Structures are given as structure tokens and as C-alpha cells.
């Protein structure tokens, strides 16, 4: 017979395990295109909560995506690529549009949410030359991060000061990569020769 | 490669471009030459030229005395970026780091350009200015809704009388045109400036027909800042090389105006003569109809232990009330704010003390409680933060309150803290006196993890004292601390001895490790305290 206490334990364990399950469901692979390494993360979603509500209010949301090449899980990056994207939501078409924030911007519109997120990840490339610092045949990990750079209500920076969560973070032995809700890390990969390398 | 430009004004108005001294952010690095030059001139018009023209650019490695943002409200940047800019003070100047921060300003505010200017101050330190200005009007709008016509622009949430005609005209000026996010941003800033007591948000909705949109500004009255403060939280787990381990946990759970604080203590002896273990619960509200009036109610029960030196000292002090085995206290208080910085509190503290020896009856220590507290925090032009706090409290045990112990306890305390980048200075002081027969939990002690570090309170005054005077000064550079403590705790009719201690400490987040040395003694032995201090642990719903 299953006691109520056991039910509670099972539910608690399921709640604790849920983030890990979600994280592992988001696959990350790499590919090469010309002289660049491309990241593919079909399940990687960053439009949710406050930023998504802001988009639906017709505002522009800017997100910075970072692709980091790590020599080992949780280690300092050996190479990085960053790009800022300006996203907006067409109120009449009910589709998303995105523009890269740079001197010669690239744009696309009429995309569904998953498509616009994939477009941003797809346009984050790491020069293959940057992997040279790792040496040939050396394994590496890829970390995909995002952060919103607007400050009007979508800042993801926590308030300074201690909270219970902050205390748990300080005292826990978890690596930062696991603690951050805005990142996806996968590996090991091997330095691609010229065309395609999959995990 | 670093991109930068310096413009020097000379009598013939020639403009020199120098790639080393005036660093620009990423947008400048990427944008076309002519537009950049135009932006630069705009930016330079923002800089208070008269004050800096004659000053030299600061070289790499110079200590930064202050970093500021001009031409743009720094509070509109994200908290993380604001903090990074402010924390430049006290660090050596690194041009690359400044360039990165300028680039981040531009990334957060794409319709603006940011430049870095560094100037040498007469004292040999550097002042850093991030000069921010609007970029050219020709920026393409990155919002896909920019192709739609604004059919209505509306401001809600503000009484008509508070909105100026000029603002209304500007609002109507957007109608009939395609949406321009830059214009909409500017108007939002204008509304926020004209209505500082409101928070303004903006949203766009579909209009009455396809291709048309409605631009809605929604103003919401800002919540006024609280005038009363909650009781300070002081969770900690401490080790004192002479007194052992002790833990005190208080967890604030509540919202802006109401808070419940469960309290648990284990073998805690850091603030009183006794070592106590037990629990408590405090309820506080800082708004009873008005933000000037608040209240709190605290109940606690603690089991007490007494150190051998304390029991030994008490045999020679028959005038001091006897020790007890447990203490339960209930304290209702009313609080009133005279101003945001000054408040008073009054109430009663009802304590029942269970005797250490079973044959005795329990004793009541009931006291009227009153206090006045001042707290003010301010910043100066160099971005230094000052924090001053002072309080004076009286606790009077009276037969009229059915107290078995009649006494009066006075305690005045003050502290001042100065923060500038990684430099922190804190000065504290207190003085107190007790008349009558105060219970042991009211008696003063020195020689713990925060007072007279380097001395053990059970060596100085194992039964506490009815007089205390104390002051301390501490300097911290990031996590390294140096301190000097001076104080004395004594009984009125006994000899008063002033004790001095000094030492150093390491502080990393909530963790600390402090070594203190007594100075005016022949027995030069170090006292180590370490542990965790988490002063603001709480959950907000």
C-alpha cells in the first residue's frame, strides 16, 4: 500500500527532476557551413513570460544570444560568438519578425515563434578558426546562452541582496551551467574536419 | 583593434581625430563614417566641456574615482549594467573594459550611441564618463508594426487635469502617421518626465480596421516608498574560538507591507549573557491605514544554558537577579514614522522566566518599551554611498506592569557606513546604562563576533554589566577588513576597565573569517570567529 507520505515524496522528487528532464529534452548539435560552426538547438526556446507578453503588446524585444566553446563542461570559454536580435510581433499577421542589430542588419518576418527562435540560433555562427585554440581532435562543449538587453520590465538581472534562492545557490555545489535557466550546454563534440560533425 | 576618436577644441576650431583617447562602443565601430562624425558632434555637445576641456585623458591603469553616465538617465539601464558601471569606482582604468560597457549601453539602447571619456582629476585619479546621445533619425525601425498607421494615441490612468496641453498635442501628433518606435519612445520619456509620480507602460493594439493600430500609454500611480522599516533580519551561524558554535535563523516571509518571521536559535550566545535555544514568531505590518503607522507582535520561547564563569560570577553579585532555565516573551509594539528617516516605537515586553531551581516560582520581567530610530542613506557626487543609522531605546520594568523586577535600561547606538566602489568604512558606537534590578537578558555584554573582537565576553564580564560604552572602526577593501574596537562593560559600583582590540578579517559573500587580538593585556592570544551571516534572508510573495 502506498502511503500518503510516499506520494508526497514522489511528487517532490518529480518536481525536483523536472528541470533536468526539460533540459535534456532540448538537444544541441553542431554543423559546419563554410568556415563557420553552426549550432542547432531545435528545442531551445527563449520567448516566454514577460518578454513574450511585451512582444504581444507590439513592443520590440532585444535578445543577445551567445555561443560559447568550452574545453570541458562548466569550464571557461575558449571561444565565443555573440549577436543581438531585435524581435517584434506583427499584430495583424500574428507572426514574428526579427532583425539583427548591426550595421548591415538581416531581417526576416512572418515566422512562427519556434521558427523565429530557430532563425536566431541559426544566425549565431562561430568561426572555425576560433576553435584552433583547442587543438586538433580535442573534445569541446558548446554552451548556448541568451539574455534580454532591454531594461523596461524584461531585465533578467536579479535584485541585489540575499534571497532564499540566492542562499541556496551560494551554498550549493551545483555548477553555474546547471543553475542558470538561460543556457543550454552539450558535448562532447570534436573539431569538425570540414563538413559536418555530430554528437 | 580599438576604435576611438578624440575631439580637441582649439582656437581655430580644428577637429583632430585620435584613435587612442576617445573610445566608442560597438555601434560606432560598425557604422558609417559620416554618420558617426555627426553623432560624435552631438555627443560632444552633451559633455560639460567647460569643466573637462583643460583636463587630460587618463592613462591605462589609473585608479577610477567615479564613473557616471551623462546625457541619459542611468536608471533606464538594466540593473546589472548600472551596477557594473558604478563598480568601476576604485578599480584601475582599463580602456577595453570601458569600451565593452559603452557597447552594452548601445546594445540596451539601440537608438543611442555611447562614448567613453576619461579625465584626470587633480588628485591623480581618473573620472570616467559614458556620454550617451540619441543616434540619427535615419535609423530604420526594427519593429514590424512600423508599417501600420496609428489611428489613435491615448494616455490612460491620469486625471485630465494633470496632463498638459503640450503633452496632449504631442500625443495627437502621432495619429495618422506610421508607427515610429523612436517617436513613441521619446513621448514615453516625456510623459514620465512630466508625471514623475506615475509608472508609464506602452502597448499597441489592433485598430478598427486592418493596417491600423492604437497606441496606448498606461500610467499607474507609483507606490509611495515605505516610511517604516521592518525589523532587521540577522540570520547567522557562528563559531567563536572561546564560545563555540551558535546559530540564529530568522526568515522573513511576506510582501511589501506585511511580514511573518519565524525565528529559530541553537546554542546561541553571541548577543546575550545566556546561551539560548528555542523558537519564535514575529508578525509585522508597516502600513496600518497610513504608511506612518505600523505594528509588530513577537512571541518567543528560549531554553537557556549558563556558562560556568557566569554562574561563578553571579555568586559574587547577589544584587543581580538569578538565572532562569527558560524565557518566554511576548512583545506587542506600535510604530509611528515622523518622517521617512525618523520613527518612534512604543509597546510592552512581557517575559516569564522559569527558575533554574524548581523550588522557586517563575518571575515576570514586564517592561514598557519605547525607542526612537533614525536611518538615512544618501549618495554624493562621487557616487559614494553614505548610510547613517542611530537609535535610542528605553525599557522600563515596573511593578505597575506586574513585573517582579523593577529596572530601567537605556541604550543608544549609532553607525555610519561609507561605500565607494571596493572601499568601505564603517564606524559604530553605543552607550548604555541600567538602573534597578534588570534580568540577565537585559544586561550588556562585549566580546563576541561583532563587538570587542579579540576578547571573550566570559573573560571580561561573565555576568554582563549594567554600564557599557563601545566604539569601533573598520575599513574593508573588497573582502579584506581591518578593524579597531574599543569598549568597556562594567557594573556601576565596580572598577571600569577600557579594553582595546584589533585584527583583520576576510569576507566573501555571507561567509566571514575574523582574527582579533586583545591589545591592552599581557595575555596576547588571538580569538577566531567565523561563519555565515545572511542579514536579509526572506521570501516575498
Nearest Cβ partner of B534 from A107, A151, A162?
A: A162
Q: What is the average per-residue pLDDT within A93-122? A: 90
- To probe the interface with B, which of A103, A151, A182 has the most B CB atoms within 10 Å? A151
Taking the C-alpha atoms of residue B503 and residue B125, their distance in angstroms, rounded to an integer, is 30
Looking at residue B265, its pLDDT comes to 97
Looking at residue B274, its pLDDT comes to 95
The whole-angstrom distance between A66's CA and the closest CA on chain B is 14
B30 pLDDT tier (thresholds 50, 70, 90): very low
For B416, residues 6+ apart whose C-beta sits below 8 A from its C-beta are B386, B387, B388, B389, B426, B427, B428
Looking at residue A3, its pLDDT comes to 54
Looking at residue B55, its pLDDT comes to 53
The whole-angstrom distance between A10's CA and the closest CA on chain B is 25
- To probe the interface with A, which of B3, B142, B537 has the most A CB atoms within 10 Å? B142
Residue A190, chain B, CB below 8 Å: the answer is no
Nearest Cβ partner of B206 from A91, A151, A162?
A: A91
Taking the C-alpha atoms of residue B114 and residue A28, their distance in angstroms, rounded to an integer, is 36
Residue A164, chain B, CB below 8 Å: the answer is yes
Taking a C-beta distance cutoff of 8 angstroms, is the pair B436, B415 a contact? Answer: no
Q: Which of B50-64, B205-219, B331-345, B427-441 has the lowest mean pLDDT?
A: B50-64
Taking a C-beta distance cutoff of 8 angstroms, is the pair B95, B2 a contact? Answer: yes
Residue A178, chain B, CB below 8 Å: the answer is no
B283 pLDDT tier (thresholds 50, 70, 90): very high
Q: What is the average per-residue pLDDT within B41-69? A: 63
Q: CB distance B205–A88 less than 8 Å? A: no
pTM score > 0.80 for this model? no
B75 pLDDT tier (thresholds 50, 70, 90): confident
Q: Please report, for residues A96, B328, B397, the alpha-carbon distance to residue B301 in angstroms, rounded to integers and kept in the order given.
A: 60, 4, 19
* More confident call, A78 vs B11: A78
The distance from CA B13 to its chain's CA centroid, rounded to whole angstroms, is 47
Q: State yes or no: ipTM above 0.95.
A: no
Nearest Cβ partner of B108 from A91, A151, A164?
A: A151
Give the number of beta-carbon pairs within 8 Å between A and B: 101
Q: Which of A162-171, B324-333, B352-361 has the lowest mean pLDDT?
A: A162-171
The whole-angstrom distance between A139's CA and the closest CA on chain B is 30
CA B336, B338, B343, B347 torsion-angle sign: negative
Residue A63 pLDDT > 60, yes or no?
yes
The whole-angstrom distance between A8's CA and the closest CA on chain B is 23
Q: Which of B48-62, B454-468, B485-499 has the lowest mean pLDDT?
A: B48-62
Cis peptide bond N-terminal to A188, omega within 30: yes
Looking at residue A22, its pLDDT comes to 41
Chain A residues in contact with B108 by the CB 8 A cut-off are 62, 149-151
Residue B323 pLDDT > 80, yes or no?
yes
To which residue does cell 561563519 refer? B531
Chain A residues in contact with B202 by the CB 8 A cut-off are 57, 59
Name the A residues in 98-117 with CB < 8 Å from any B CB. 99, 101-103, 105, 107, 109
The sheet that has B212-221: what strands, in order across it? B149-156, B212-221, B198-206
Strands of B40-94, DSSP E: 64-70
Taking the C-alpha atoms of residue B532 and residue B509, their distance in angstroms, rounded to an integer, is 9
What average pLDDT is seen over chain B? 85
Q: CB distance A162–B32 less than 8 Å? A: no
Q: Which helix (H) or strand (E) holds A22?
A: helix A4-25
Residue B140 pLDDT > 70, yes or no?
no
CA B157, B162, B166, B168 torsion-angle sign: positive
B28 pLDDT tier (thresholds 50, 70, 90): very low
For B144, residues 6+ apart whose C-beta sits below 8 A from its C-beta are A88, A89, A90, A96, A97, A109
Looking at residue B114, its pLDDT comes to 86
* More confident call, B155 vs A42: B155
Q: Which of A5-14, A68-77, B392-401 has the lowest mean pLDDT?
A: A5-14
Nearest Cβ partner of A92 from B210, B509, B510?
A: B210
Residue A153 pLDDT > 50, yes or no?
no
Q: What is the average per-residue pLDDT within B91-101? A: 89
Q: Please report, for residues B18, B22, B93, B98, B286, the alpha-carbon distance to residue B56 in angstroms, rounded to integers and kept in the order given.
A: 14, 11, 14, 17, 51
Looking at residue B305, its pLDDT comes to 95
Residue B6 pLDDT > 80, yes or no?
no
Query: Helix B181-194 to helix B165-173 angle, to the nearest 10 degrees?
Result: 170
Q: CB distance A86–B142 less than 8 Å? A: yes
Q: What is the average per-residue pLDDT within A81-97? A: 92
Chain A residues in contact with B110 by the CB 8 A cut-off are 62, 86, 101
Q: Nearest Cα to B44, choosing from B124, B117, B137, B142?
A: B117
Taking a C-beta distance cutoff of 8 angstroms, is the pair A47, A129 a contact? Answer: no
The whole-angstrom distance between A144's CA and the closest CA on chain B is 19
For B470, residues 6+ apart whose C-beta sits below 8 A from its C-beta are B428, B429, B430, B431, B446, B451, B452, B485, B486, B487, B488, B489
CA A126, A128, A133, A134 torsion-angle sign: positive
Taking the C-alpha atoms of residue A137 and residue A5, their distance in angstroms, rounded to an integer, is 51
Taking a C-beta distance cutoff of 8 angstroms, is the pair A144, A121 a contact? Answer: yes
Taking a C-beta distance cutoff of 8 angstroms, is the pair B256, B225 a contact? Answer: no
- Grid cell in block for residue B310: 557566569
Q: Please report, for residues A134, A142, B262, B503, the alpha-carbon distance to residue A137 in angstroms, rounded to integers and kept in the order given.
A: 8, 15, 57, 53
Amino acid at each position: 500500500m502506498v502511503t500518503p507520505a510516499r506520494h508526497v515524496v514522489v511528487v517532490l522528487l518529480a518536481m525536483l527532476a523536472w528541470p533536468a528532464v526539460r533540459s535534456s529534452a532540448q538537444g544541441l548539435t553542431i554543423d559546419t557551413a563554410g568556415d563557420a560552426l553552426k549550432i542547432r538547438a531545435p528545442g531551445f526556446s527563449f520567448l516566454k513570460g514577460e518578454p513574450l507578453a511585451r512582444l504581444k503588446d507590439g513592443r520590440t524585444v532585444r535578445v543577445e544570444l551567445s555561443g560559447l566553446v568550452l574545453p570541458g563542461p562548466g569550464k571557461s570559454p575558449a571561444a565565443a560568438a555573440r549577436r543581438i536580435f531585435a524581435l517584434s510581433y506583427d499584430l495583424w499577421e500574428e507572426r514574428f519578425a526579427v532583425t539583427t542589430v548591426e550595421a548591415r542588419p538581416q531581417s526576416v518576418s512572418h515566422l512562427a515563434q519556434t521558427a523565429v527562435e530557430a532563425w536566431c540560433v541559426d544566425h549565431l555562427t562561430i568561426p572555425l578558426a576560433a576553435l584552433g585554440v583547442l587543438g586538433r581532435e580535442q573534445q569541446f562543449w558548446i554552451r548556448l546562452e541568451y539574455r534580454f538587453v532591454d531594461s523596461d520590465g524584461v531585465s533578467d538581472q536579479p535584485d541585489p541582496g540575499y534571497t532564499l534562492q540566492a542562499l541556496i545557490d551560494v551554498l550549493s555545489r551545483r555548477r553555474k551551467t546547471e543553475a542558470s535557466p538561460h543556457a543550454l550546454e552539450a558535448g562532447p563534440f570534436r573539431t569538425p574536419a570540414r563538413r559536418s560533425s555530430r554528437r | 583593434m580599438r576604435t576611438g576618436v578624440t575631439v580637441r577644441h582649439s582656437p581655430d576650431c580644428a577637429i583632430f581625430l585620435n584613435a587612442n583617447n576617445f573610445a566608442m562602443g560597438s555601434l560606432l565601430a560598425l557604422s558609417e563614417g559620416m554618420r558617426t562624425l555627426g553623432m560624435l558632434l552631438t555627443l560632444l555637445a552633451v559633455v560639460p566641456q567647460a569643466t573637462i576641456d583643460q583636463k587630460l585623458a587618463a592613462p591605462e591603469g589609473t585608479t577610477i574615482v567615479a564613473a557616471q553616465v551623462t546625457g541619459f538617465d542611468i536608471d533606464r539601464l538594466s540593473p546589472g549594467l548600472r551596477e557594473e558601471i558604478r563598480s568601476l569606482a576604485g578599480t584601475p582604468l582599463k580602456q577595453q573594459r570601458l569600451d565593452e560597457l559603452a557597447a552594452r549601453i548601445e546594445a540596451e539602447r539601440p537608438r543611442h550611441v555611447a562614448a567613453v571619456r576619461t579625465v584626470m582629476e587633480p588628485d591623480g585619479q581618473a573620472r570616467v564618463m559614458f556620454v550617451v546621445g540619441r543616434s540619427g533619425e535615419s535609423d530604420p525601425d526594427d519593429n514590424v508594426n512600423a508599417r501600420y498607421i496609428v489611428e489613435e494615441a491615448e494616455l490612460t490612468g491620469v486625471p485630465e487635469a494633470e496632463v498638459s496641453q503640450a503633452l496632449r498635442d504631442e500625443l495627437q501628433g502621432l495619429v495618422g502617421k506610421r508607427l515610429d518606435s523612436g517617436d513613441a519612445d521619446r513621448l514615453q520619456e516625456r510623459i514620465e518626465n512630466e508625471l514623475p509620480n506615475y509608472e508609464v507602460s506602452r502597448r499597441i493594439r489592433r485598430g478598427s480596421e486592418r493596417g491600423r493600430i492604437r497606441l496606448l500609454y498606461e500610467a499607474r500611480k507609483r507606490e509611495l516608498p515605505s516610511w517604516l522599516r521592518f525589523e532587521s533580519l540577522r540570520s547567522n551561524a557562528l563559531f567563536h574560538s572561546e564560545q563555540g558554535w551558535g546559530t540564529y535563523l530568522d526568515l522573513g516571509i511576506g510582501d511589501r507591507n506585511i511580514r511573518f518571521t519565524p525565528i529559530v536559535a541553537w546554542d546561541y550566545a553571541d548577543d546575550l549573557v545566556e546561551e539560548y535555544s528555542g523558537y519564535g514568531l514575529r508578525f509585522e505590518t508597516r502600513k496600518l491605514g497610513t504608511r506612518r503607522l505600523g505594528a509588530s507582535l513577537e512571541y518567543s520561547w528560549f531554553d537557556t544554558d549558563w556558562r560556568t564563569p557566569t554562574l561563578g560570577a553571579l555568586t559574587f553579585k547577589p544584587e543581580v537577579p538569578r538565572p532562569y532555565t527558560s524565557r518566554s516573551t511576548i512583545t506587542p509594539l506600535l510604530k509611528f514614522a515622523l518622517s521617512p528617516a525618523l520613527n518612534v516605537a512604543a509597546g510592552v515586553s512581557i517575559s516569564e522566566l522559569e527558575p533554574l531551581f524548581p523550588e522557586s516560582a517563575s518571575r515576570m520581567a514586564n517592561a514598557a518599551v519605547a525607542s526612537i530610530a533614525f536611518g538615512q542613506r544618501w549618495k554624493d557626487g562621487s557616487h559614494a554611498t553614505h548610510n547613517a543609522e542611530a537609535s535610542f531605546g528605553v525599557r522600563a520594568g515596573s511593578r505597575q506592569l506586574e513585573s517582579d523586577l523593577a529596572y530601567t535600561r537605556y541604550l543608544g547606538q549609532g553607525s555610519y557606513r561609507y561605500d565607494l566602489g571596493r572601499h568601505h568604512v564603517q564606524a559604530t558606537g553605543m552607550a548604555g546604562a541600567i538602573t534597578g534590578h534588570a534580568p540577565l537578558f537585559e544586561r550588556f555584554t562585549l566580546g563576541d563576533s561583532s563587538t570587542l573582537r579579540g576578547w571573550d565576553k566570559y573573560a571580561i564580564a561573565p555576568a554582563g554589566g549594567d554600564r557599557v560604552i563601545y566604539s569601533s572602526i573598520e575599513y574593508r577593501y573588497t573582502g579584506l577588513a581591518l578593524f579597531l574596537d574599543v569598549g568597556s562593560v562594567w557594573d556601576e559600583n565596580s572598577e571600569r576597565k577600557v579594553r582595546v582590540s584589533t585584527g583583520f578579517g576576510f569576507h566573501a559573500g555571507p561567509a566571514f573569517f575574523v582574527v582579533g587580538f586583545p591589545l591592552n593585556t599581557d595575555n596576547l592570544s588571538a580569538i577566531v570567529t567565523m561563519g555565515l551571516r545572511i542579514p536579509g534572508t526572506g521570501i516575498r510573495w
